[in-house]
Amino acid sequence: MLDDLSSRLSDRITDPGLLPGRGDFAGDGRLAVRDPATGDLVAQVAISDAPGARAAVDAAQAAFPAWSTMLPQHRAQILHHWHALIVAAKEDLARIMVAEQGKPIGEARGEIDYAASFVQFYAEEALRPNIEGVTSHLPDAEMELWREPVGVAALITPWNFPCAMITRKAAAALGAGCTVVIHPSAETPLSALALAVLARRAGFPDGVINTVIGDAATIVGEWTADTRVRALSFTGSTEVGRLLYRQSADTVKRLVMELGGHAPFIVFEDADLDRAVAEAIKAKFATSGQDCLGANRLYIHRPIYDEFCRRFTEATERLTLGRGMEDPDLGPLIHDRQIDKQKAHVEDAVARGARLLTGGSVDEAQGPLFFKPTVLADVTDDAAIMSQETFGPVAAISVFDDEDEVFARANATEYGLVAYVHSLDPRRIYRATRALQYGMVAVNRTKVTGAPIPFGGMKQSGIGREGARQGLEAFTEIKYVCRDWA
Ligand code: NAD
């Protein structure tokens, strides 16, 4: 870390080399990184400005010819090496994440496994054939489709999954043969910089991966305007996604947008209630509720409504809240805007007739960014929480009477990322799966993500998919080749 500036992190990790120096594109500015659990200064990071953002693209552009024409098995070897180094540094990376993001250490370790899995997946995917034959429709002609890397890709990531959102994009882009410029969230630059250190050790040539910290609008604005940046992959809020979509129009970039979510969690009367309650707790409170896959609306069938509310509230009251290194169920929220939003959503729902069953306020004994796990019942459809992403530990429960009603209410949103359904009736499950306008439908379980599946949303939850073979599409172009042998 910068010599003249404080770092409270170096004594918590075994490899101080993961705390980077000035970086290649840093100017004189400083970004303070604070522990959300305590407000303590963790470190200060040197930041870049517009010339730094352009220099990063210069470097990526210069590195592209050699990287994109390197034999795929050599690119795969470097990705495998990066994967091995991430796995070996798991504990350090998890501790860095706890220090700047606040999440419980168990969740942080899980995220490192998840992050590493994308690197391994795309190391293997890099070796799959990238040429496809086409049955000719012209006499004496031979046709092929070549899949080629687009060039420099800009990757913009949020703070809630500071490592996995980087590797989910970067491993696909790098495996495809692109070079990348990365802008992580200002809340979590240390995780991004640590991944960059490991990438350098893994043997990525200079200029292939360029991590730039700084004012988001300035840095990303440079990249959206730059014709050399051929693809932009963004994960974050729908609001910023719309802005970057507009900004990318003038240079006609290829886009991946992984945006907000507002997941419905539907429990039918025939569901396994114990399981539905346990899965609802995970779907609502994982990542302290700060998860795009978080269950924002719980729709419960009338015959089991009271029993579900009782059991869900009891389970919520058993959840622990604390500092990340104590490995509680929930940690602090990332900043005070998140706290303000929880309060506003609770007050608004209660004013419209909802009942507050537990929680509803800050846990002052823990600190100003700790919001108690909260349950609201009888929440009406006009409450803000039923249409706006809460991104925190507030569960909103509402009753329903029949299938058509609940499917219509579940779909009445601009979002379409993930929907959860609990039922043991196969025909009902089929009808629900057909009816729900969501990019992912999870039946009788919560955890559905992983490197081999195409993650992404419908409607304003995004464009394109990440993970799986589909995750390569935004980073590659199809070149159609037609050869005449007559
Ligand atoms: P955000 O939109 O505020 O920020 C995301 C990224 O965009 C950050 O790197 C930020 O620095 C940058 N950014 C912010 N303003 C910008 C601007 N004016 N110009 C250019 N870049 C800008 O989102 P966040 O608060 O970091 O993350 C939470 C959001 O991310 C939630 O809406 C959540 O649903 C979403 N999310 C989606 C997924 C998914 O896969 N669909 C995953 C995680 C988070």
pLDDT computed for residue 214 by the predictor: 95
Tens-digit pLDDT profile for residues 120-160: 999 999 999 899 999 999 999 999 999 999 999 999 999 99
Which of 419, 423, 399 shows the shortest CA–CA distance to 410?
Answer: 419
Output the CA 394–ligand 1 centroid distance in Å. Answer: 20
Cα 364 to ligand 1 centre (Å): 28
Q: Which atom of ligand 1 is nearest to the CA of 224?
A: 20
* Pocket residue to mutate for ligand 1, from 103, 182, 234, 292, most atoms within 8 A of Cβ: 292
CA distances from 356 to 251, 266, 341, 344 (A): 49, 20, 16, 13
Query: Is 307 labeled as catalytic in the residue annotation?
Result: no
pTM over 0.95: yes
Task: Label residues 283-322 b or e (16+ Cβ within 10 Å = b).
Answer: bbbbbbbbbbbbbbbbbbbeebbeebbebbbebbeebebb
Give nearest CA residue, ligand 1 atom 36: 236
Supply the mean pLDDT for the chain. 96
pLDDT at 2: 55
Polymer length in residues for the chain:
486
Q: Are 183 and 222 in contact (CB under 8 A)?
A: no
Backbone φ/ψ region at 348: left (φ over 0), alpha (ψ -120 to 50), beta: alpha
Contact 458 CB / ligand 1 (< 6 Å) = no
Establish whether residue 261 lines the binding site of ligand 1, counting it when its CB lies within 6 angstroms of any ligand atom: yes
User: How far from 324 is each of 114, 256, 288, 372, CA to CA, in Å?
Assistant: 18, 32, 11, 15
292 catalytically annotated: yes
Which of 168, 191, 240 to probe ligand 1 with, by most ligand atoms within 8 A of CB? 240
Tokens of 13: 């990790």
Condensed to tens digits (0 to 9), the pLDDT of residues 164-207 reads 999 999 999 999 999 999 999 999 999 999 999 999 999 999 99
Pairing of strands 355-358, 374-377: antiparallel
Tokens of 464: 């394109």
* CB distance 284 to 308 below 8 Å: no
Q: Domain map of the chain by residue range?
A: 14-260+461-481, 263-414+418-455
Class of the domain covering 14-260+461-481:
alpha beta
Distance between Cα 481 and ligand 1 center (Å): 39
Q: How far is CA 48 from CA 210, 211, 398, 402, 454, in A?
A: 12, 10, 47, 55, 33
Instruction: Please give the Cα distance from 424 to 444 (Å, whole number).
Output: 8
As beta bridge partners, residue 355 has 377
Q: List, as one string, the DSSP characters of 137-186.
A: SSTTEEEEEEEEE-SEEEEE--SSSTTHHHHHHHHHHHHHT-EEEEE--T
Looking at domain 263-414+418-455, its CATH architecture is 3-Layer(aba) Sandwich (3.40)
To 10 degrees, the CA torsion angle through 466, 449, 469, 185?
20
> Rounded to whole angstroms, how far apart are CA atoms 385 and 395?
9
> How far away, in angstroms, is 330 Cα from ligand 1 center?
21
- Tokens found for residue 39: 């407000």
**Ligand 1 centroid distance, CA of 237 (Å):** 4
Cα–Cα dist 176/172, whole Å = 6
Please, are residues 140 and 485 in contact by the beta-carbon 8 Å criterion?
Answer: yes
Q: Check if the interface score ipTM surpasses 0.95.
A: yes
Spatial contact of 155 and 182, defined as CB atoms under 8 Å apart: yes
H-helix or E-strand spanning residue 284: helix 273-285
| Phi, psi for 396 (deg, rounded to 5) | -110, 115
Q: Which residues contact 305 (CB under 8 A, 6 or more apart)?
A: 399
- Supply the residue whose CA is at minimum distance from atom 40 of ligand 1: 258
Residuewise pLDDT in 10s, the chain (486 residues): 555 556 778 888 999 999 877 667 888 889 999 999 999 999 999 999 999 999 999 999 999 999 999 999 999 999 999 999 999 999 999 999 999 999 999 999 999 999 999 999 999 999 998 999 999 999 999 999 999 999 999 999 999 999 999 999 999 999 999 999 999 999 999 999 999 999 999 999 999 999 999 999 999 999 999 999 999 999 999 999 999 999 999 999 999 999 999 999 999 999 999 999 999 999 999 999 999 999 999 999 999 999 999 999 999 999 999 999 999 999 999 999 999 999 999 999 999 999 999 999 999 999 999 999 999 999 999 999 999 999 999 999 999 999 999 999 999 999 999 999 999 999 999 999 999 999 999 999 999 999 999 999 999 999 999 999 999 999 999 999 999 987
The residue with tokens 């409607």 is 459
91 beta partners: none
